[in-house]
Amino acid sequence: MKVSKLAESLIGSEIVKLGNTITERIKKGEKIYNYTIGDFDSSVFPIPALLEQYIVEAYQKKYTNYPPADGIALLRKSVAAFLAQREGLVYADNEIQIASGGRPLIYALFETLIDPDDKVIYGVPSWNNNHYVHLTQGQHCTVVCTPENNFMPTAEDIAPHIKGATLLCLCTPQNPTGTTLSKEALQKICDMVLEENDSRPADAKKLYVMFDQMYWTLTYGNIQHYNPISIRPSMREYTIFIDGISKAFAATGVRVGWACGPAPIIAKMKAILSHLGAWAPMAEQQAVAKYLGETTAIDEYLQNFKKALAFRLNTIYKGIKLLQQKGYAVDAIAPQAAIYLTVQINLIGKKTIEGDLLATQDAVTDYILSEAKIAIVPFYAFGGNRDSSWYRLSVGTCKEEDIEPMLLGLEHALAKLH
């Protein structure tokens, strides 16, 4: 059957594919510690009770019609107030676009900015940038990030690609690594973007920054979240934020996200989204507009939510480092933010007790799944090298009581290799 060249060449989400496979095996009764999907088990991490109440009330009030293409005014005002209070970001109503989560906003931004063969800079591993570049026929300018920099791109990494580029994709806290850009690193990147834009003719397309901060409320310990505008106010002209409630309130299925940026860019995104119909549902918009003003309730929810996530991330991290101390070929990067732990399982060349050689990273992944019953996502699913020994472990579905047996199972599986 003939379809478009785009459809023929498009690769589906490796993460969703893997997650669906694991889910099917669990449904058949297999015990698997499923740490693949960047989602939440709502029985472990429910959305805020007050937000749930407001959603129910909104449906009871018959808020079931089409919302405006850019989102209801009440929600845009609430988002503006929320960002002003918590990040010091000041945006007018016409500089905010509401949609059904981050994905349609990112796609609309790409369609707004990217012409065929326009250069798009993004680090690998990173979430879905490679797919959005493909969808818009942009030119991939990949920056291979390293564990020495916590898998975050640096100004030095970006510099070789910056001349003539149209879009720089940054995500901090980052999916898949759970790490962040430091203030100094972000300052250097912003200064480079500003210098590049100053060098371009007045009528030339500028270099914009897509700043995905979907996880910005979820930082731990002394880690702080920084954004381009707060540290370099002149970046306001070139920065488009991608944000929403999906991760901040464990509300991935509620589907309310927002973008903030220069009014002309936001207006074009609105036009594109009006044809896609990718708006957040009316009732959820009404509820979120009301909930974002509940400062005390939000603070209490985030305090408990972050404490529970940090416990899981740090406990698993310590367990992995203990295995490393015992001589096993594993490692992890100390958790900083989000719901992810970056884990290394470096077993290529090892043999099982049956004598089978783990010759590829795929074989390693399969071995950990079959022997330890642990499902995690290899970094190649995020644009990394196919042979990378690094993985994303998501704790959104992790139960505290599962951590100890999961780590014991991993140790037993490692001990069987020689």
| Domain extent for 381 | 5-45+298-415
Write the DSSP string, 35-69.
Answer: --SS---TTTSPPPHHHHHHHHHHHHTT--SPPPT
Give the whole-angstrom CA distance, residue 341 versus residue 149.
Answer: 15
Same domain, 268 and 333: no
Instruction: Report whether 38 contacts 339 (CB < 8 A).
Output: yes
For range 287-306, the mean pLDDT: 98
Same domain, 221 and 313: no
Closest by CA position to 188, among listed 151, 149, 159: 159
Report the SS3 class of residue 368.
helix
Structure tokens given for 285:
């918009």
pTM above 0.85, yes or no: yes
Position with higher pLDDT, 11 vs 298? 298
For range 191-206, the mean pLDDT: 97
Give the whole-angstrom CA distance, residue 247 versus residue 309.
Answer: 12
Give the whole-angstrom CA distance, residue 279 versus residue 137.
Answer: 25
For range 362-381, the mean pLDDT: 94
Task: Return the pLDDT at 10.
Answer: 85
Closest by CA position to 395, among listed 413, 372, 377: 377
Instruction: Report whether 302 contacts 115 (CB < 8 A).
Output: no
- The arrangement of strands across the sheet holding 390-394 comes to 330-332, 340-345, 390-394, 377-378
Structure tokens given for 396:
């959104």
Same domain, 217 and 325: no
Give the percent of the chain with pLDDT over 70. Answer: 100
Same domain, 230 and 242: yes
Question: Cα 168 to chain center, whole Å?
Answer: 16
The tens digit of pLDDT for each residue in 234-253 reads: 999 999 999 999 999 999 99
Whether residue 233 has a cis bond before it, omega within 30° of 0 = no
Same domain, 135 and 261: yes
Write the DSSP string, 193-253.
Answer: HHHHHHTS-TTSPPPEEEEE-TTTT-B-TT-----HHHH-GGGGGTEEEEEESTTTTT-TT
Same domain, 215 and 230: yes
Same domain, 126 and 29: no
Structure tokens given for 255:
């589907």
Structure tokens given for 58:
């909104």
Give the whole-angstrom CA distance, residue 387 versus residue 151.
Answer: 16
| pLDDT score of 112 more than 80 | yes
| pLDDT score of 374 more than 90 | yes
Report the SS3 class of residue 273.
helix
- The arrangement of strands across the sheet holding 257-260 comes to 96-99, 257-260, 239-244, 208-212, 167-171, 119-124, 139-144
State the chain's mean pLDDT as an integer. Answer: 96
Task: Return the pLDDT at 349.
Answer: 95
| pLDDT score of 262 more than 90 | yes
The tens digit of pLDDT for each residue in 34-51 reads: 999 899 999 999 999 999
Q: 348 to each of 221, 388, 415, how far by Cα in Å?
A: 34, 10, 15
Q: Is 109 exposed, middle or buried (0-12, 13-18, 19+ CB in 10 A)?
A: buried
Give the whole-angstrom CA distance, residue 66 versus residue 75.
Answer: 14
For range 20-40, the mean pLDDT: 88
| pLDDT score of 288 more than 80 | yes
| pLDDT score of 12 more than 80 | no
Task: Return the pLDDT at 203.
Answer: 93
Domain-ending residue, one of 274, 294, 314 = 294
Give the whole-angstrom CA distance, residue 255 versus residue 277.
Answer: 13
pLDDT band, very low/low/confident/very high, at 385 (cuts 50, 70, 90): confident
pLDDT band, very low/low/confident/very high, at 22 (cuts 50, 70, 90): confident
The tens digit of pLDDT for each residue in 60-86 reads: 999 999 999 999 999 999 999 999 999
Give the percent of the chain with pLDDT over 90. Answer: 91
> 164: left (phi > 0), else alpha (psi -120 to 50), else beta?
left
In this structure, what CATH number is given to the domain that contains residue 235? 3.40.640.10
Same domain, 104 and 232: yes
- Looking at residue 294, its amino acid is E
pLDDT band, very low/low/confident/very high, at 373 (cuts 50, 70, 90): very high
Domain-ending residue, one of 294, 314, 335 = 294
Same domain, 176 and 115: yes
Task: Return the pLDDT at 19.
Answer: 76
Task: Return the pLDDT at 405.
Answer: 97
Instruction: Report whether 187 contacts 301 (CB < 8 A).
Output: no
> How many independent structural domains does the chain possess?
2
In this structure, what CATH number is given to the domain that contains residue 394? 3.90.1150.10
As beta bridge partners, residue 123 has 143
Task: Return the pLDDT at 162.
Answer: 97
Structure tokens given for 97:
């676009």
DSSP 100: S
Same domain, 164 and 302: no
Same domain, 113 and 171: yes
| pLDDT score of 13 more than 80 | no
Same domain, 148 and 253: yes
Backbone angles phi, psi at 351, to 5 degrees: -120, 145
Neighbouring residues of 234: CB distance < 8 A, sequence distance ≥ 6: 194
What angle separates helix 295-325 from helix 400-415, to the nearest 10 degrees?
20
Instruction: Report whether 253 contacts 210 (CB < 8 A).
Output: no
Domain-ending residue, one of 294, 312, 338 = 294
Task: Return the pLDDT at 223.
Answer: 97
